Amino acid sequence: MAKQKKAPRPKAQTPKGFRDYFGVEVSERAEMLRTITGVYHHYGFDALESSAVETVESLGKFLPDVDRPNEGVFAWQEFEEDGNGDWLALRYDLTAPLARVYAQHRNDLPTPYRRYTMGPVWRNEKPGPGRYRQFYQCDADTVGTASVAADAEICAMLSDTLEKVGIPRGDYIVRINNRKVLNGVLEAMNVTDETAQANVLRTIDKFDKVGEAGVRELLGKGRLDASGAYIDGVGLEDNQAEPVVKFLTSKGANNSETLANLRAAVGDSVIGSEGINELEEIATLLAAQGYGPDRIVIDPSVVRGLGYYTGPVYEAELTFEILDEKGRKRQFGSVAGGGRYDDLVKRFTGQAVPATGVSIGVDRLLAALREKGRLSSKAQGPVVVTVMDKARMADYQSMVAELRQAGIRAEVYLGNPKNFGNQLKYADKRESPVAVIAGGDEFDKGVVQIKDLILGAKIAENATLEEWKALTNQFEVPRSELASKVAEILESQS
């Protein structure tokens, strides 16, 4: 066997911005992914798992992190003798890979192609509290149809999904907007320069924080923010700001009112009108299926950061309040988002392939449910068969095998059995509901001791074996009744 060379000890640490997940964190996520993909499947979507690694070329550069190393992705070059190996990267989302998959396999896939997928994605971002460089997404997309019925369907499915995972109606809202309306507003404002356009969109995103007056300042000369810092403005004329202000204040008491206000904001922009017509069609389709504005609503404040959207964009927000790290109340915020991206596949094929889809931020949604105490973590530790006599390990293993065959999660203590207190501490740490004890006396008499640990948990930490045995939540039963008695205690605990 090759021996290792002497080297300084490696640090036992995840790389910066990465973390590990333990026990119920893992099983709760698995359960949620199963629920979400169950809804997607029910809607006719088919599973896809693409590779985690893509060529940098096929991923494209659509992340907003232009100032980050590799523009926000983890990338490396394939080794080739001539130094011309492909650049590879970890996927940063599940949409860019879908475009590649569809372009690659389009002759074998149905059109339209509805697919769902889930898995981790990686961002080469600056890590921060609660901000990780690997996180889960669970996406559903429809490729190959320009019909906004596809967008409506995905919004309806998103609403169903949120309710299915445990967010009650009223605690979330799916909001829809349309990039074409935004483009119409820019047209009405006569802002054609790309940088200025991007700046206007950024300003729109700040409307929630700074309000109408703030937006006017930011579009014009600039603004002194709450911290006392001066934020430079976009430098537009006062009258140029009108369409965007109209747009931002266009949300009416119902969808019809909002749509009418939006028509005023885009003026005679053709692209703007097209966008509004699409929103109207989506609203009609959703209303026909019973999805009212208490679940899905047209909301002009939705922008979505990614650069590849070309039509309807949508976002699911949780509307209940939580306390932030400083103890202030705030709305939980966005847990899912998506939209139409008609040009992503075209990058590969040269032919326009319309597509639309949603991505659920699984880890954020889990955090929300945890926050609200809505995850019924039925995680229960295993029954622990303790070891009083190491030489009888085969007997203890037989007990455990019997328990497992009876459908009970169980294990034998495999640490050093000398210190019985350690076995109790272990059972405690595992949150074991029941411990089984059998030493020489018990084997001689053909019995076992069974301990209800839920009742006895509190004093377990420091008790001696004798004290522990003396508790009334301990039962001596014939060896043959081991499994049935343990099952009975587990039943009584639940």
Encoded tokens for 106: 């389009």
Q: Which of residues 408-437 bind a second copy (CB under 8 A)?
A: 409-412, 414-416, 426, 429-430
Q: Which residue type is seen at 452?
A: D
Cβ atoms of residues 338 and 356 within 8 Å: yes
Q: Which of residues 214-273 bind a second copy (CB under 8 A)?
A: none
Give the residue with the Cβ less far from a second copy, 318 or 400: 400
Instruction: Name, in order, each residue with C-beta under 8 angstroms of 489's C-beta and a sequence gap of 6 or more.
Output: 433, 434, 450, 452, 475
Is residue 391 a contact point for a second copy (CB under 8 A)? no
Encoded tokens for 341: 């991206």
Give the residue with the Cβ less far from a second copy, 198 or 323: 198
Give the residue with the Cβ less far from a second copy, 432 or 449: 432
Q: Give the number of residues in contact with a second copy, rule: CB under 8 A.
A: 112
Position among 91, 114, 246, 251 found at the interface with a second copy (CB under 8 A): 114
Distance CA 135, CA 298 (A): 29
CB of residue 489 to a second copy, shortest distance in Å: 17
Whether residue 112 is preceded by a cis peptide bond, meaning omega within 30 degrees of 0, is yes
Give the residue with the Cβ less far from a second copy, 73 or 265: 73
Work out the end-to-end distance of the chain between its first and last CA atoms, rounded to an integer number of angstroms. 51
Q: What are phi and psi of 135, to 5 degrees?
A: -150, 165
Position among 226, 229, 253, 394 found at the interface with a second copy (CB under 8 A): 394
Give the closest residue to 103 by CA, choosing from 144, 160, 131, 141. Answer: 144
SS3 of residue 411 by DSSP: strand
CB of residue 330 to a second copy, shortest distance in Å: 29
Position among 27, 261, 277, 334 found at the interface with a second copy (CB under 8 A): 27
Give the residue with the Cβ less far from a second copy, 318 or 460: 460
Q: Which of residues 340-359 bind a second copy (CB under 8 A)?
A: 343, 347-350
Distance CA 186, CA 242 (A): 11
Is residue 101 a contact point for a second copy (CB under 8 A)? yes
Is residue 135 a contact point for a second copy (CB under 8 A)? no
Cβ atoms of residues 29 and 369 within 8 Å: no
Instruction: Name, in order, each residue with C-beta under 8 angstroms of 458's C-beta and a sequence gap of 6 or more.
Output: none
DSSP run (H or E) holding 315: strand 312-323
Is residue 26 a contact point for a second copy (CB under 8 A)? yes
Is residue 395 a contact point for a second copy (CB under 8 A)? yes
Q: Which of residues 63-92 bind a second copy (CB under 8 A)?
A: 69-70, 74-76, 78-79, 86, 88, 90
Is residue 142 a contact point for a second copy (CB under 8 A)? yes
Give the closest residue to 19 by CA, choosing from 105, 135, 119. Answer: 135
Is residue 177 a contact point for a second copy (CB under 8 A)? no
Q: Which of residues 198-217 bind a second copy (CB under 8 A)?
A: 198, 201
Is residue 456 a contact point for a second copy (CB under 8 A)? no
Q: Which of residues 30-49 bind a second copy (CB under 8 A)?
A: 30, 34, 41-44, 46-49
Q: Which of residues 284-323 bind a second copy (CB under 8 A)?
A: 284-285, 287-290, 307, 309
Integer angstrom CA distances of residue 142 from 43, 44, 148, 314: 11, 10, 11, 15
